[in-house]
Structure formats: C-alpha cells, structure tokens
Amino acid sequence: MKTQRTLAVLAAVLFVGAVALATTGTQTLSLGAAMAFLSASAEQTVHDWLVRIVGPWAWTDVVEPLLIRPAWLPFGSLGLVCAGLAASWPTGGAARRSHRRS
C-alpha cells in the first residue's frame, strides 16, 4: 500500500511539473535549454559524468535525443509510467479465497 501511494504521489508531482513547464515556458523550450537556464555548466557536467560512468554511447544515443525534446516531455512520460505502476501495483488487502462452492 505504501509503495502504491508513493508512486501515485510521484506521478502527481511529475504531472504538475510537466504542466507547469508546458504552460509557463516558451513553446520551443527544449530540455537542453532548460538545463542551461538552471546552470551554465549542467550539460557539460552531465556529459562528463555519463561518459565516465556508463560510456560515450549513453550520451550520443540516449541523452542527446532527449535534450532536443520539449522540457515537459520527460516529466510527463515519467509521470505516466509512475501512474501506470501505481494503478497496477497489487494492493495486498484482499485475502485469497477458494472459488469453489460447497
């Protein structure tokens, strides 16, 4: 129950963040531009860390395509995944009973 609630709250926070970015930012605000807005060296720091830990393929194949997408898209996508996990997480409250009739 606690995990399901945590996922639901996380999904709600991510959805609110996605809507806030989509409505307050410019229509063409990319994730790379949002990172540059937060910190001038953020993109280079993430690049250096990712290449050192995972490898150069992670930057070119995974992160670079995400940086040109709208800034709200990763938050909305993660919110959708968390909402799906929260909805499909077993509640564990129901006791297992036999369906046989006597």
User: For 53-62, what is each residue's pLDDT tens digit?
Assistant: 999 999 999 9
Confidence at residue 3, expressed as pLDDT on a 0 to 100 scale = 86
Confidence at residue 60, expressed as pLDDT on a 0 to 100 scale = 92
- Buried/exposed 59-91: b ≥16 CB within 10 Å, e otherwise: beeebeeebeebbbebbbebbeebbeebeeeee
- Domain extent listing, the chain: 1-27+72-89, 30-69
pTM: 0.68
